[in-house]
Amino acid sequence: MMRVPGAYATAVRDPEGTVHVDRHDFKSITERSSFWKKPIFRGMAGLFEAMKMGMATLQWSADIAMPEEKDKKPNKFLESISSAFAILLAVTLFMIAPMWITTKMLDVEKEAVAFNMISGIFRITFFCDLPFSNFIDEGCTAPVSIPWC
């Protein structure tokens, strides 16, 4: 997917090897409304537009890349449960857990700089450890290349 001012396009190769291109004109809400031009709101609008565009593009590319899955009806209930679980996991891993570990185990909440540095280190550790947390001792099915696998 590529986005330029005024448009975005996606290119996907299907199972037969043909490349499909989908191009759309795009005008941001920040260009159409003065309210959404303000700093905080501009960021919120940009994030929303990027997520909406990204999800639509991913869905289109999945439909092209895996045409046999296209006709299956999505289960809205399971999608909702999956989304809620993903949000809960993200909030727990990157907000609650680092603050709880820093507060309860290290007792540094009175020092603001130390508290933020230590909880930030825990966040970075959790984030960097996620790609490697999917491997098993026997099979090593990591989603990324790990030297010892």
| pLDDT reported for residue 59 | 87
pLDDT at residue 142 above 60? no
Q: Are the C-beta atoms of residues 48 and 54 closer than 8 Å to each other?
A: no
**pLDDT (0 to 100) of residue 113:** 87
Domain definitions of the chain by residue range: 2-69, 76-132
Q: What is the pLDDT of residues 80-117, one digit of tens each?
A: 898 899 899 889 988 898 888 888 877 777 788 888 88
Quick: pLDDT tens for 40-70.
Answer: 999 999 999 999 998 889 989 888 888 777 7
pLDDT score of 139? 52
What is the predicted pLDDT for the residue at 104? 83
Give me 133's structure tokens.
Answer: 């947390």
Per-residue pLDDT band for 132 (boundaries 50, 70, 90) equals low
pLDDT at 9: 93
Q: Does the model's pTM come out above 0.85?
A: no
How does pLDDT run across 64-87, given as a tens digit for each residue? 888 777 777 778 898 889 889 989
CB-based burial label for 119 (10 Å; 0-12, 13-18, 19+): buried
Q: Which of 72 and 131 is assigned the larger pLDDT?
A: 72
Which phi and psi (to 5°) does residue 34 adopt? -75, -25
What 3-state class would DSSP assign to 126?
helix
